[in-house]
Each structure stands twice: as structure tokens, then as C-alpha cells.
Amino acid sequence: MPSEMNARERWGLLLIDEFPDRPPVFPLITAHSAKVKGIDLIAYSANGKALAEAQLAAQRKYRQDGLSVFTDVGIIAEAMGSKYLLREFEVPTLADPVIKSPEMAEELIVPNPQSDGRLPVYLEAIDYLFEAEGDRLPVFAYIPCPFTTSAGLRGTEDFLMDTIVAPEAAHHLLSISLEAAIRLCDECIIAGALPILVDPLASGSVISRKIYQNFALPYEEKLIRYLHRYDLDITLHICGETESYIDLVHLTGADLFSFDKIPVHTCREVLGQKIRLVGNLAPHALLNSSKLDIPQATQNIIAEGLPNPKGFVLSTGCEAPIMCSDWKLLQMIGEGMKARYET
């Protein structure tokens, strides 16, 4: 086995339960790449070529093991009619949800990724990245899960209230959001990307274990079951706290779990025999204001993650902050690249 593999080879071995030369190092570098390229986030979020060029610039700088196609968690909801505010220096935010009352969901149409909203941005970026670096770097497309998209269609507070007072309406909205996610996944896979499913609104920091179990998990599982028809290994990322329902995560069928505010050893003890783990340096640690010792914190995560029986990927717990310290991110990645499996 060569001493140094490229990223595709490294991921490929991990996903067949073999040990590569080292664990993949894949901090979630998304909007921060616009800062690296020197473009604003309106251009990054609305132009596939600009997004792709920013990702390539970031990868040349940091050498992380993969390229990320992601604008914001509302991209499907926007394509279905919700209004999002694009901003130069912050990620897009929900300005006006399309669903004002539960019965309005009947009017929704599953969007066409080739033409609706900013979904074509994803496909243009994937085409560009796959052509440029697809032979050595995996391209990952971040796809919002149905729970998160439903919150973007209805408004977070109203949707969460629907799960309590109008559960049938909530499930109907979730079913439409599932169809939309499937259609976007299909197009992204055909273009050459691997899906990473993101469900930030399903975080234990936002909802209870019961709501997760009844409304988020079933649709994560349906989406992952569909994607397994492609014979792909699927990553599920959930931001924030997940310790309150960590024992349920394997029921989604996810092959990799990207986690945030939960100790690595807890994830390993509960999920380690079933799922590859991806995590979890705190994103705020990468800000200039943070006093955390990045090399030591990264070494601690590696020490807890490497023994995971199903494999481990060094990452951040969520997206690297847009204005994170370049030097701190380089420190984290450098420590990850020194990690080696015991033989």
C-alpha cells in the first residue's frame, strides 16, 4: 500500500471497512471558502461556477479530503416557494415561509433541480468540480432532510407547533419534502456527487427525543433507504446536541454520522459497532477569539475517534465559521494529516 493516497482512495478504503493510510480529514468548509476566494456570499450562493471556484481555492489552501457543495439549508424550501434573504456576508436566511396554514401544503409542487430556484447552482457546481478534480477528490452535495425543509416551508415555530396540534398536516408536509429531497439527490448523484444529508432543525438543541423519533427519524430513514438503492454509503449530519437520542440514530440506516455537541467516546460507545463517525471539533474554536489549543483539542478527538470499530473521519462539529482563522483551520487539518492507525 502506498504511504500517501489521494482522497478518493482514502475514502474508498474507509467505506469498505479497510484502514487507509490515515483517517480522512474533512472539516465542513462551506461558506468559508467564499472568504478564501474573496467573493461575497450572494455570488457564492447564487452562482454554481463561483461556488465551485471558491471550493477549489479552499482545497488548494487547506488540502482537506473532499469538496463541499452547499449554500444553505433552505435551498429546497426556497425552490418550493419560500422567500430567503441572500446577504453579502452571512448565509441566506428565511424571510417568508410559503405555507401560512397547513392546508396550503396541497398547493406545493416538487421542484425541478434543473430549473427551480437556486437548485441549478448545485448541479452547475458539481459539474464544474467533478470535471476539475473528480479523479482525486470526492465531491459531496449537502442535501437538506425533510424535517429541515418542512421547517423552511412552514416557518420553524409553526411547523414545530404542527407536530403537536396538527400531526397529520406535519406528516403531509414531510412527505412532500421527502419527494423533493429524493429528486435533488438523484440529480446530484447523476452529476457526480455523493449526498451528505443535513438535518439541523432535527437537533436535540431544538426538538425533543419524542419529536425526533416520530417526525424526523422516519423521513431520514426513508431518504437513506432510497439512496441505498445506488449502493452508496450515506452520511447524516445533525448539528447541536444529539445525546438525548443518540441510541436512535442507527435506526436511520446512515453509514456515517457527522455529529456536533456530544463527546466522541459517547458516540463510539453507542454507535461504534454500527456507524462510521465524523467529528467533531467545535466550530467556534476556529475563531480568532477562541483561546482553545487547536492542536491539543484535535489530538484529543483523534485519540477518541480512531478506535471506533467502523472507522473515523476527522471533521468539525458543524460548518467552519465564515470568518474562522485560516491558521487555526490549518492547525486542525495538519494534526489530522499526522494521524495514523496502529498496525
Tell me the one-letter amino acid at 220.
E
pLDDT for 276 = 96
Q: What share of the chain is helix, strand, coil (3-state, %, to 5)?
A: 50, 10, 35
Number of domains in the chain: 1
- Condensed to tens digits (0 to 9), the pLDDT of residues 215-227 reads 999 999 999 999 9
Inform me whether the pLDDT recorded for 1 exceeds 50: no
pLDDT for 341 = 80
Does some domain include residue 314? Answer: yes
Does some domain include residue 1? Answer: no
Average pLDDT, the chain: 96
Query: What secondary structure letter does DSSP report for 320?
Result: P
Choice among 4-13, 74-83, 117-126, 252-261 with the minimum mean pLDDT:
4-13
Q: Which residues contact 127 (CB under 8 A, 6 or more apart)?
A: 48, 191, 192
Query: What secondary structure letter does DSSP report for 211?
Result: H
Inform me whether the pLDDT recorded for 343 exceeds 60: no
Q: Taking residues 163-178, what's their average pLDDT? A: 97
- Condensed to tens digits (0 to 9), the pLDDT of residues 293-308 reads 999 999 999 999 999 9
Does some domain include residue 45? Answer: yes
Inform me whether the pLDDT recorded for 170 exceeds 70: yes
Does some domain include residue 128? Answer: yes
Does some domain include residue 2? Answer: no
Model confidence at 123, pLDDT cuts 50, 70, 90, reads: very high
What DSSP assignment string belongs to 223-237? HHHHHGGGT---EEE
Inform me whether the pLDDT recorded for 73 exceeds 70: yes
Q: What is the CATH number of the domain that holds 324?
A: 3.20.20.210
Q: pTM for this structure?
A: 0.96
pLDDT for 3 = 56
Inform me whether the pLDDT recorded for 230 exceeds 60: yes
Range of the domain at 98: 7-338
Distance CA 59, CA 71 (A): 17
pLDDT for 141 = 98
Across the chain, the runs of DSSP E, i.e. the strands, are 67-69, 83-85, 93-96, 139-144, 194-198, 235-237, 256-258, 276-281, 312-316
Q: Taking residues 26-47, what's their average pLDDT? A: 97
Does some domain include residue 343? Answer: no
pLDDT for 222 = 98
- Condensed to tens digits (0 to 9), the pLDDT of residues 183-220 reads 999 999 999 999 999 999 999 999 999 999 999 999 99
* Residue 147, CA atoms < 13 Å, CB-side half-sphere: 28
Let me know: does 151 contact 160? Beta carbons within 8 Å.
yes
Distance CA 33, CA 53 (A): 9
- Condensed to tens digits (0 to 9), the pLDDT of residues 272-289 reads 999 999 999 999 999 999
CA angle, 230 then 59 then 50, to 5°: 80
pLDDT for 244 = 96
Does some domain include residue 234? Answer: yes
Q: Are strands 67-69 and 312-316 parallel, antiparallel or unpaired?
A: unpaired
pLDDT for 2 = 46
